[in-house]
C-alpha cells in the first residue's frame, strides 16, 4: 500500500512538472503559409523546402469581375484588366486606393494589359496597351488614361483570312507589338508601332511520338480527325517583354516542345533542355533581376532563374476563397519590392505574396553571381545550405561560383551532389587539364623507361633465361582446360571461320566455357550499365531492377538460340542446339571488351568524349553481331543468302514469341482483375 502511494505521488509530481515545463517553454512561430513550397532533389522529384513566399494582401474591395491580367508601372501601381466590367483599373497598393479607371466605348472585354517602363522615340513611360479580343482592337492609352491610338486587324494580304482577337500583348522600346491572338496557331502576331503586320514572331512546334508520326504518314486528314488526333500547333497563352527587350512566351499543351520560351531576336528559344514544373502555363513575368515567374492553370506559381533553372513552386487550387490558394489563377506580376501579385478570375480578387528571407537570400545569391560577386554569392549560398542541406539549387549555385573562381575541385564536388553532369564535366575537364600539365613529362619519362626496360629484359632473358620459371607458371595456368576454353573466344573474334569449325567439331571450347563466357558477358554489361563514371552514369544503383535485367538477358539470348535451332531445323541446317549455343556464346568477346573499355574510359573522359564511348560500344556490338552471323553460317553450313534468311526468320520468331507472351500476360492480369472485382462485389452485396 505504501509503495502504491509513492508511485501515485511520483506520477502526480511528473504531471505537474511536465505542465510547468510546457508553460515556460518558448513559443514557436507557426508559418502563416497556406501552401507548401517544393523544390527538386537530384532525382528531379519534388521535396518540401522552406516557405519561399507567404500570403500578403487579399484585395477584395475593388469591385473586380473576372480580372484576367496585371501589369506594374514604374510607380509600383497595378494596372488590372477587369474584363467583366470592361475597364482597366490602376491601383496603388501602398495607399490602397484606385488611382484611376480607364474605359472606352469600344473597349468591351479587356483581357491583356502591358505598361511601358521607359520613354523612347516611339513610346512613352507609363503608356498602357490593352488587348481586347471581343472588339478586335489593341488600345494604347497614356498614363493618365487618355486614348492615343487603337490598332485593329492588320491591313495585309498575308493576314486577310486570319481572325484578329488579341488576348495578350507586350511592347518593346521601338513600339513593336507582340500579340497573342485567340486561336492563332501560326504564332505570336508582330505589329509595328503604326499597326503594320510584320509577320509571326515565333510559333509552337508539335512533338509527336513514333506512333503518331506513323499515323500521320499513312492516314488521311479525315481518318486522323475521326481518331480525334489534332496536329495543329497549340496557341500561345501569354507573352511578356522584360526591361532589356527579351521576349518570353508560355503555352498550355503537352504536345509542345517547350511550354516556356525565352526568345532571341529571331524568335528561337534560348532555354533548351530545362525542367518545367507544368505543361499548362497561363502567364509569365520577369522581374528586374531576370527571375522568371510563371503561373499555371491549376493554381501553381513556379519560379526560375534567368537561365531557366527551376528554383521552387508553391500554390494550389481550391473552390473556396483561401489566401494563397486559387480558384482560377489568371495572371501574375511582380512589383518593385519583390512582392508577387496574382489575379484570381474565379474569386474576382487580387492576392499578393511576400518573399521570405529564404527567397531573398536565393535571389541575392543569383544576383551576386550575375554581377560577378562570386565570393559574396558563395557566402549566401552557404547560408542557404544551412537551412536546406539538400538544396540542389544551392549546390549548383556554389559550384558555378567556384567554377568562375577556378576552384575546380570544389566546383566538381558540389556539381556531383547536385547531379549536374554537364557542369561537372566542365570542372572535371579543367582538373584533368591541370593534372596532365603537371604530370605529362613524368608520364612520358615513365613510358620511355618502361619501353627501355622491356627491351633490356627481353634481350637479357634470351641469354640468361631467368624468366623461364615465370613463363612456365603462366603457361600452366593458360593451358588449364577451363581457362583455355574461355580464352578461345579471343581467337574466335580474330579468326572466326576456323574457330567456329573447331567448335562444331568439339575440338575446341566447351559448354562450361560457353556458360562462363555468358556470365562474363552479363557482368561486363552490368558493369557498363551501373558502373560508369558520374558524367555518363544516368541511372542510380537504387533504381536498377537487377531481376529484370537478368531475366531480360537470359530471355533474349535463350530465345534467339532456341528460335535459331527451330528455324535451322526446318531449313536443313547441320548444327545442333548445343553447337548453336556455343557459337553464340563465343561471339561475345568484342562486346565484353567494349563494355569494360567504355566503363574504364568513362572515369577519365568528359562529356566531349561521349562520341568515343558510343563508338566503342557500337563497334563492339556490331562485331559481336557479325560473329553471330558467321557462326550461323559456319555451324549450319549455309550460304550467305541462306544465313540472312535464317537470321531474319529467327528474329521474326523471337518478336512473335515476345508479343504472344505479352498478350498472355495481359490476359492473365485481366482475368485476375475480373475475379477480384467479382469477389469484391460478392463481399459487398452478400457478406457485407
Q: Looking at residue 432, which CATH number applies to its domain?
A: 1.25.40.10
Question: Which of these, 205, 263, 199, 258, lies nearest to 234 by C-alpha position?
Answer: 205
**Does any domain span residue 143?**
yes
Residue 24 domain flag: no
Q: Are residues 250 and 349 in the same domain?
A: yes
**pLDDT tens for residues 119-150?**
999 999 999 999 999 999 999 999 999 999 99
Q: How many whole angstroms separate alpha carbon 229 and alpha carbon 212? A: 9
Last residue of one domain, picked from the residues 325, 355, 385:
355
Please tell me whether residues 474 and 456 are part of one structural domain: no
Last residue of a domain, one of 432, 450, 466: 466
Q: What is the pLDDT of residue 388?
A: 81
In a domain, 682, yes or no: no
Neighbours of 575 (CB within 10 A): 24
Q: Which domain holds residue 377?
A: 368-466
Q: Which residues pair with 256 in a beta bridge?
A: 206
Is 557 part of a structural domain of the chain?
yes
Report the chain's mean pLDDT, rounded to a whole number.
Answer: 86
Q: Which three cell numbers stand for residue 178?
A: 507582340
- Give mean pLDDT, residues 348-364: 94
The verdict on residue 191 lying in a domain is: yes
How would you write 263-276 as a 3-class SS string? Answer: ECCCCCECCCCCCC
Q: Which residue has the higher pLDDT, 3 or 509?
A: 509
Given its phi and psi angles, is residue 300 left (phi above 0), alpha (psi -120 to 50 degrees) or beta? beta
350 plus 377 within the same structural domain: no
HSE on the CB side for 569, CA within 13 Å?
Answer: 10
Together in a domain, 383 and 344: no
User: What cell does 400 get?
Assistant: 558555378
Residue 505 within any structural domain of the chain: yes
574-588: pLDDT as tens digits: 888 988 999 999 999
pLDDT per residue as tens digits for the range 452-470: 988 888 888 887 887 778 8
Q: Within 389-510, where are the H helices?
A: 392-404, 408-418, 421-464, 468-478, 481-494, 496-504
C-alpha cell at 516: 562462363
Domain contains 330 = yes
Nearest CA to 606 among 415, 439, 437, 443? 415
pLDDT in tens, 14-65: 433 333 333 333 332 334 566 789 998 877 788 899 999 999 999 999 999 9
Do residues 458 and 473 both lie within one domain?
A: no
Same structural domain for residues 610 and 522? Answer: yes
pLDDT at 325 (0 to 100)? 85
pLDDT one-digit tens code per residue, 90-103: 999 999 999 999 99
SS3 62: coil
Q: How many domains does the chain fold into?
A: 4
Residues 491 and 595 in one domain: yes
Neighbours of 281 (CB within 10 A): 25
- Name the H helices within 147-254: 210-218, 221-226
In a domain, 399, yes or no: yes
Alpha helices in 79-139 (DSSP H): none
- Four-CA torsion 616, 618, 620, 621, nearest 10 degrees: 160
The answer to whether residues 522 and 555 belong to one domain is yes
Distance CA 63, CA 81 (A): 12
- On whether both 574 and 490 belong to a single domain, the answer is yes
Q: Phi, psi (5° rounding) for residue 392? A: -65, -35
Alpha-helical (H) ranges within 130-209 are none
Q: What is the DSSP string of 166-210?
A: EEEEEE-TT--EEEEETT-TT--EEE-TT--EEEES----B---H
CA proximity to 240, closest of 194, 314, 303, 180: 180
Quote the pLDDT of residue 220. Answer: 63
Kindly state the cell numbers that stand for 234.
497549340
Domain end (from 466, 486, 508): 466
Q: Which of 265, 260, 278, 282 is nearest to 204 (CA)?
A: 260
pTM of the full structure? 0.80
Amino acid at each position: 500500500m505504501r509503495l502504491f502511494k509513492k508511485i501515485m505521488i511520483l506520477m502526480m509530481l511528473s504531471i505537474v512538472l511536465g505542465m510547468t515545463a510546457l508553460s515556460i517553454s518558448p513559443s514557436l512561430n507557426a508559418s502563416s503559409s497556406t501552401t507548401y513550397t517544393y523544390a527538386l532533389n537530384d532525382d528531379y522529384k519534388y521535396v518540401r523546402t522552406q516557405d519561399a513566399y507567404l500570403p500578403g494582401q487579399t484585395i477584395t474591395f475593388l469591385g473586380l469581375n473576372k480580372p484576367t491580367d496585371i501589369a506594374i508601372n514604374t510607380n509600383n501601381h497595378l494596372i488590372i484588366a477587369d474584363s467583366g466590367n470592361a475597364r482597366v483599373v490602376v491601383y496603388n497598393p501602398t495607399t490602397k486606393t484606385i488611382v484611376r479607371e480607364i474605359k472606352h466605348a469600344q473597349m468591351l472585354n479587356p483581357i491583356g494589359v502591358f505598361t511601358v517602363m521607359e520613354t523612347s522615340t516611339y513610346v512613352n513611360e507609363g503608356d498602357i496597351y490593352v488587348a481586347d479580343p471581343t472588339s478586335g482592337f489593341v488600345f494604347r492609352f497614356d498614363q493618365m488614361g487618355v486614348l492615343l491610338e487603337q490598332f485593329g486587324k492588320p491591313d495585309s494580304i498575308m493576314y486577310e483570312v486570319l481572325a484578329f482577337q488579341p488576348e495578350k500583348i507586350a511592347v518593346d522600346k521601338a513600339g513593336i507589338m507582340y500579340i497573342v491572338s485567340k486561336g492563332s496557331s501560326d504564332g505570336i502576331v508582330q505589329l509595328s508601332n503604326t499597326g503594320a503586320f510584320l509577320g509571326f514572331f515565333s510559333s509552337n512546334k508539335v512533338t509527336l511520338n513514333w506512333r503518331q508520326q506513323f499515323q500521320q504518314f499513312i492516314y488521311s486528314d479525315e481518318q486522323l480527325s475521326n481518331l480525334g488526333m489534332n496536329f495543329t500547333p497549340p496557341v500561345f497563352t501569354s507573352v511578356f517583354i522584360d526591361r532589356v527587350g527579351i521576349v518570353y512566351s508560355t503555352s498550355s499543351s503537352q504536345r509542345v516542345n517547350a511550354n516556356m520560351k525565352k526568345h532571341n531576336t529571331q524568335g528561337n528559344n534560348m532555354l533548351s533542355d530545362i525542367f518545367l514544373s507544368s505543361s499548362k502555363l497561363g502567364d509569365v513575368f520577369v522581374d528586374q533581376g531576370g527571375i522568371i515567374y510563371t503561373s499555371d492553370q491549376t493554381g501553381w506559381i513556379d519560379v526560375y532563374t534567368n537561365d531557366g533553372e527551376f528554383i521552387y513552386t508553391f500554390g494550389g487550387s481550391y473552390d473556396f476563397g483561401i489566401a494563397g490558394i486559387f480558384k482560377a489563377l489568371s495572371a501574375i506580376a511582380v512589383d518593385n519590392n519583390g512582392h508577387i501579385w496574382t489575379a484570381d478570375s474565379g474569386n474576382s480578387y487580387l492576392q499578393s505574396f511576400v518573399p521570405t528571407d529564404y527567397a531573398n537570400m536565393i535571389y541575392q545569391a543569383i544576383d551576386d553571381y550575375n554581377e560577378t560577386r562570386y565570393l559574396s554569392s558563395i557566402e549566401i549560398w552557404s547560408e542557404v545550405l544551412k537551412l536546406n542541406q539538400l538544396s540542389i539549387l544551392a549546390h549548383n549555385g556554389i559550384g558555378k561560383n567556384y567554377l568562375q573562381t577556378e576552384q575546380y575541385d570544389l566546383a566538381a564536388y558540389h556539381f556531383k551532389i547536385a547531379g549536374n553532369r554537364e557542369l561537372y564535366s566542365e570542372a572535371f575537364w579543367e582538373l584533368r587539364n591541370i593534372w596532365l600539365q603537371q604530370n605529362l613529362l613524368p608520364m612520358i619519362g615513365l613510358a620511355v623507361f618502361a619501353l627501355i626496360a622491356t627491351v633490356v629484359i627481353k634481350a637479357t632473358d634470351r641469354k640468361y633465361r631467368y624468366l623461364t620459371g615465370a613463363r612456365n607458371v603462366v603457361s600452366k595456368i593458360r593451358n588449364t582446360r577451363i581457362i583455355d576454353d574461355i580464352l578461345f573466344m579471343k581467337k574466335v573474334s580474330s579468326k572466326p571461320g576456323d574457330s567456329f569449325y573447331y567448335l562444331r567439331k568439339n575440338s575446341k571450347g566447351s559448354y562450361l566455357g560457353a556458360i562462363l563466357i555468358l556470365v562474363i558477358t552479363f557482368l561486363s554489361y552490368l558493369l557498363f550499365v551501373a558502373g560508369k563514371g558520374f558524367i555518363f552514369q544516368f541511372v542510380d544503383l537504387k533504381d536498377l531492377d537487377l531481376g529484370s535485367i537478368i531475366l531480360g538477358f537470359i530471355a533474349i539470348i535463350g530465345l534467339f538460340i532456341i528460335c535459331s535451332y527451330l528455324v535451322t531445323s526446318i531449313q536443313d541446317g547441320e548444327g545442333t542446339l548445343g553447337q548453336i549455343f556455343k557459337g553464340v556464346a563465343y561471339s561475345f568477346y568484342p562486346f565484353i571488351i567494349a563494355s569494360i573499355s567504355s566503363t574504364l574510359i568513362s572515369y577519365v573522359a568528359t562529356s566531349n568524349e561521349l562520341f568515343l564511348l558510343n563508338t566503342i560500344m557500337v563497334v563492339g556490338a556490331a562485331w559481336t553481331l557479325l560473329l553471330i552471323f558467321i557462326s550461323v553460317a559456319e555451324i549450319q553450313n549455309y550460304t550467305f543468302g541462306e544465313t540472312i534468311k535464317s537470321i531474319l526468320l529467327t528474329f521474326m520468331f523471337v518478336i512473335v514469341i515476345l508479343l504472344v507472351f505479352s498478350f498472355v500476360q495481359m490476359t492473365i492480369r485481366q482475368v485476375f482483375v475480373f475475379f477480384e472485382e467479382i469477389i469484391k462485389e460478392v463481399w459487398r452485396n452478400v457478406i457485407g
